[in-house]
Structure 1
Amino acid sequence: MLSYDELTSPERALWDAFPEGRRVDLRTGVPEDDRVAGGGQWGPGRTVRAVVIAALLLGANAAQPGAVACLRLAGARISGRLNLAGAQIAHDLRLEDCWFEEGVDLSGASAQSIAITGSRAPGVEAGMTRVEGRLDLRRSRLESGAVSPLHRRVTALSLINARVSGAVNLNGAEVTAPGEWAVSAGGLVAEGGVYCQDGFVARGEVRLMGAQLPGGLHMRGALLEHPGRRGVVLALDNAVASTLDFSDGFTANGTVRLRGARISDDLTFEGAVLNGPRDGHGPSLVAVLMQAVDFDFTLARTPSGTVDLRGAQVSHLHDSDRSWPDVVELDGFVYGSVKVDEAGERREAVGRRDSVAHRVAWIRRSPGYSPQPYEQLASWYRKAGHDDDARRVLLAKQRHRRRTLHRAARVWGHLLDATVGYGYRPWLAGVWLLALTLLGTLSFGTHSPHPVKQGEGAPFQPVVYTLDLLIPIGGLGQRTAWYWSSDGLQWLAYLLIAFGWVLTTALIAGVTRTLQKN
């Protein structure tokens, strides 16, 4: 039990101010002397023991009638470890511009509101903490030590399974963790959202896996980087949020992972920079099975690593010429509409000049062949009323698929493509028929054939004779009534018969495939 006589002068000032909620400000007013980075040099006149703070928060000095007790302290050096693990804290804690000698332990505690702003601390442990108000860590500098002797990661800020009724405010904070995990907040519930803006910097991985963020995650202009050459800088696997805002210069020097994340409103990377791992051997964005309503991917520049959207589902996609790297995983990616950013204006991608060529080139960035991206793109064009564009996409799909087949199948594929465009250009068969009819008419019209039976059959007609050769089903009575003494013309007749069968077979095969798909 602390005795009042044992307290130092600044501790007595804090003890006396606590029942009335008054602030104790130990700052000198001289900027050079008040810099928190130099707090380790502050002397006894600015030092408060952590045990004194803990004692007051746990009821060591009762509140005055008619006043609300609150611990408010600014510009102090706090010696010892502030240990409030498992505590029931009935009063607000507000520490401003303080320098902590050791870390802060709030694990399992219950509190009204906690604010540690503009301060420096070697880590804050707040796993399983319950905060009825806000958790405010604005402008603070949190640093973990190196990896522990047991080779466990040491986290600068731990919010694992914490629940905050208000917002978690990290605006302007700098969180550094040589042990790789800057923020570990798996299972965090922050009803008011998480704010990491106004110059927020994290050196190490920010982990929010399985977090529930009804108020969203706001990281406009934030900088995330990894101390190693490879690594994930932001992990939101299976998180549920109303919005994820990575805009206005948000920079990730590592992988951003949104695997299985569900966003009920906007996911925006407008003006963001996704550099990917520094060694260039990892993805910039992994959003496998991600779900969002509005997905804005209009980046400031092209990502350096791959973008993985396999199995993702969005209602509206916004992109630009800077959105997509050389490799984009699109298998299973589903979208309802696409808009492009041109000179700062958002326009519908459908109906634009070279729209199909641009989108097919986008799909071709996926490694290997997969039919789903083509089917999805064709479905989008069809829903927009552009059936011709949809057929062009499906034709591009068949041409891509042809590259994966064995030689004989590729030859047949080239034949289908040249004759009927795999059934998506059946008019090509008419072009071939007209050209071959013209060839036969001109060739046969300059010579006289011999009748099979003298005096029988209709008179020779070059056009009808040629059509009779080209049409394999039925007959017009010319092919069986005449023959040629010239070997060249006889072989031409045989070739026209063969071409007729090829054209008919290709037309049937292509149209059947088209009807089955549509």
Structure 2
Amino acid sequence: MDLTDLTPAERRVRDAFPLGEGVDFREGDEDDPERGTDWGPGRTLRAEFLRELLLAGPVTEGRTAGLKVAGARVTGRLDLKYGTVTCAVRLRACHFEQAPDLYGARISALVLTDSVLPGLTAGTLRADGVVRITCCRVEGPVRLQGAKLTGAFFANGARLGAPGADPEEAVLQLNHAEVATDVWAPGLVAHGTVQLNGAVVGGQVNLNDAVLDAPGGTALHAEVLAVGTDLHAMRLRARGRVNLGGARIPRQLNLAYAQLTNPGGHALRASSAVIGELWLRSAAPIEGTVNLRRAQLDLLHVPPEVWPERVQLDGLAYRVLTPHLPAEQRLPLLEREPDGYLPYPYEQLTTAYRTVGDDGAARTVQLAKLRRRRGTLPVYARLWGYLQDAAVGYGFRPMRAALWLLLLLCAGTLAFTLHHPPALKPSEAPAFNPLFYTLDLLLPIIDFGQESAYAPRGGFQWLSYLLIALGWVLATTIAAGITRSLNRQ
């Protein structure tokens, strides 16, 4: 490399490079890279100089070379496309006039902390260490699709995109990337879509306190995302759809204290996802539809007030539902299915209550299911349903049948005490007993010999017919309830 072509700033960087030492051009703690266009030649580095240094720079025996620069202005495009950089690249608090191009490159580590860039192209990048855009301000897209990182990806505190803009592509693209450890992005602010479609993350994804702003679009697009442990997004503020369809999150998807807003569309979609625990504890009421169809969860922690008006739950499987609440507080959720009555959500809620040993709540859910189903039946079936409901609560309220029998028994006993029916054969009839006569009328399978010996007349004859009919109805509904109970067991 010809030293006569280098500026004094570039000579400083060249001399420090083979020794792995750093060069800091910053003049104070408030030296903001946003104003990097005003920086003079004393802190300006040409992109072609950096490219030549990284690909064919000098080395010193016994020392580890590395590019460590802070507070520089980089002019031109840093083009390392398909190049192999054996050292770490650390360009902190720098101002880039053009988006660096590292497409298909292989690099030891890439650190751009606190820098300002118009964009970053690094699709299919291979990094043997970390890639860090911590606290960077990037107006254009950060393209890391298909990248393979041996270390972690850091975007904590980064600001991507421009407020109010409508970007044509996602501002952060990690689709189909492979990250061996974590995607660490707490405090990320993204004005546009963050893509993690098909990404594989060996550790966790951290989006705590992130702001994802894509109103009317997709804020987080992470279909078929696979993480090794958790996806933390506590206090996440997302305007636009959060799409986790088909994601695999073995431990926890934590959306506690989050604000999910997408009126008129899907605010949260996790259909066909497999998640250990889904937490929406203390989250703001969701604005938009939630789609959890065919998802599989071990634990679902969502207070009733968090659910929106439209919730798609058909096929959702979960083992434990927390916090534990009475069934009456959970049932309104099942009526928010846009497709109307579906039996599966009721069966799943019943199973969840039985799992924790709350059989009373499980019976309440089953009764609500039959009442909801009744509205879908023909008129004659609905009438029979109303009768079973009033009599024994479809078999889930057996004490109600005993109460009906007791009331009818008292009424019949009183009526026939006041007016004894005449005997059919006075010489052979047993002594009349109004209590057992009424029991003979009400219970079709029991015979005390009273009904066959006495025959009421007039209005009392019609009363006896009514008691016989009601007795048969009660017996049938009780038998149906017992059969349903045995089937459940």
Cα distance in structure 1, aligned partners of 2:366 and 2:190: 45
8 Å CA contact 2:65, 2:87 repeated in 1: yes
Q: Deviations 1:66-105 (Å, cap 9, x if unpaired)? A: 2111111222221111111111111111101111111111
Q: Deviations 1:124-155 (Å, cap 9, x if unpaired)? A: 111111101100111111122xxxxxxxxxxx
Cα distance in structure 1, aligned partners of 2:114 and 2:72: 12
Aligned to 1:214: 202
Please point out which of 75, 79, 84 is paired with 2:75: 79
What is the SS of the residue equivalent to 1:117? coil
Cα distance in structure 1, aligned partners of 2:59 and 2:484: 82
Please point out which of 156, 169, 179 is paired with 1:190: 179
1:132 lines up with 2:128 in the alignment: yes
8 Å CA contact 1:420, 1:507 repeated in 2: yes
Cα distance in structure 1, aligned partners of 2:159 and 2:360: 54
Cα distance in structure 1, aligned partners of 2:332 and 2:202: 37
Cα distance in structure 1, aligned partners of 2:250 and 2:366: 32
Cα distance in structure 1, aligned partners of 2:409 and 2:15: 108
Q: Give the TM-score taking structure 1 as reference length.
A: 0.89
| Alpha-carbon offset, residue 54 of structure 1 | 0.8
Stretches of structure 1 that go unaligned for 5 or more consecutive residues are 145-155, 341-348
1:46 lines up with 2:43 in the alignment: yes
Could you list the structure 1 runs, at least 4 aligned residues long, displaced by more than 6 angstroms after superposition.
none
What is the SS of the residue equivalent to 2:287? coil
What percent of counterpart residues are identical?
A: 41
Aligned to 1:6: 5
Aligned to 1:292: 275
Please point out which of 210, 222, 239 is paired with 2:225: 239
Cα distance in structure 1, aligned partners of 2:469 and 2:291: 48
Aligned to 2:408: 436
Q: Deviations 1:401-443 (Å, cap 9, x if unpaired)? A: 2122222221111111111111111222221111111111111
8 Å CA contact 1:416, 1:510 repeated in 2: no
Cα distance in structure 1, aligned partners of 2:309 and 2:468: 48
8 Å CA contact 1:300, 1:322 repeated in 2: no
More deviation, 379-388/319-328: 319-328
8 Å CA contact 1:168, 1:190 repeated in 2: yes
User: 1:106 is matched by which residue type in structure 2?
Assistant: L
User: 2:183 is matched by which residue type in structure 1?
Assistant: V
User: 2:13 is matched by which residue type in structure 1?
Assistant: L
Aligned to 2:94: 98
Q: Over the residues paired in the alignment, what is the CA RMSD in angstroms? A: 1.8
Cα distance in structure 2, aligned partners of 1:455 and 1:3: 137
Cα distance in structure 1, aligned partners of 2:353 and 2:316: 15
Cα distance in structure 1, aligned partners of 2:246 and 2:150: 24
Cα distance in structure 1, aligned partners of 2:305 and 2:389: 33
| Alpha-carbon offset, residue 321 of structure 1 | 5.0
What is the aligned length?
A: 483
Q: Deviations 1:360-405 (Å, cap 9, x if unpaired)? A: 2333333322222222222222222222222122112111221222
Cα distance in structure 1, aligned partners of 2:272 and 2:29: 54
Aligned to 1:490: 461
8 Å CA contact 2:456, 2:464 repeated in 1: no
What is the SS of the residue equivalent to 1:396? helix
What is the SS of the residue equivalent to 2:337? coil
User: 1:195 is matched by which residue type in structure 2?
Assistant: W
Please point out which of 482, 499, 509 is paired with 2:480: 509
8 Å CA contact 2:145, 2:176 repeated in 1: yes
More deviation, 62-71/400-409: 400-409
Cα distance in structure 2, aligned partners of 1:431 and 1:121: 78
Q: Deviations 1:40-78 (Å, cap 9, x if unpaired)? A: 23233322111111111111x321122111111222221
8 Å CA contact 1:299, 1:322 repeated in 2: no
8 Å CA contact 1:298, 1:322 repeated in 2: no
Matches within 5 A, 1:26-45: 26-29=25-28, 31=30, 34-45=31-42
More deviation, 85-94/464-473: 464-473
Aligned to 2:191: 203
What is the SS of the residue equivalent to 1:458? coil
Matches within 5 A, 1:262-411: 262-274=248-260, 276-277=261-262, 280-320=263-303, 322-340=305-323, 349=324, 355-367=326-338, 368-411=340-383
8 Å CA contact 1:122, 1:142 repeated in 2: yes
Matches within 5 A, 1:249-260: 249-260=235-246
1:478 lines up with 2:450 in the alignment: yes
What is the SS of the residue equivalent to 2:91? strand
Q: Give the TM-score taking structure 2 as reference length.
A: 0.94
User: 2:236 is matched by which residue type in structure 1?
Assistant: F
| Alpha-carbon offset, residue 182 of structure 1 | 0.9
User: 1:259 is matched by which residue type in structure 2?
Assistant: G
Cα distance in structure 2, aligned partners of 1:381 and 1:137: 47
8 Å CA contact 2:320, 2:355 repeated in 1: no
What is the SS of the residue equivalent to 1:204? coil
| Alpha-carbon offset, residue 281 of structure 1 | 0.6
| Alpha-carbon offset, residue 180 of structure 1 | 4.1
Aligned to 2:59: 63
8 Å CA contact 2:319, 2:355 repeated in 1: no
User: 1:465 is matched by which residue type in structure 2?
Assistant: Y
| Alpha-carbon offset, residue 37 of structure 1 | 1.2
Q: Deviations 1:102-134 (Å, cap 9, x if unpaired)? A: 111111111111111111111111111110110
8 Å CA contact 2:304, 2:330 repeated in 1: no
8 Å CA contact 2:101, 2:122 repeated in 1: yes
What is the SS of the residue equivalent to 1:232? strand
| Alpha-carbon offset, residue 479 of structure 1 | 2.2
User: 1:511 is matched by which residue type in structure 2?
Assistant: I
1:171 lines up with 2:156 in the alignment: yes
User: 1:398 is matched by which residue type in structure 2?
Assistant: L
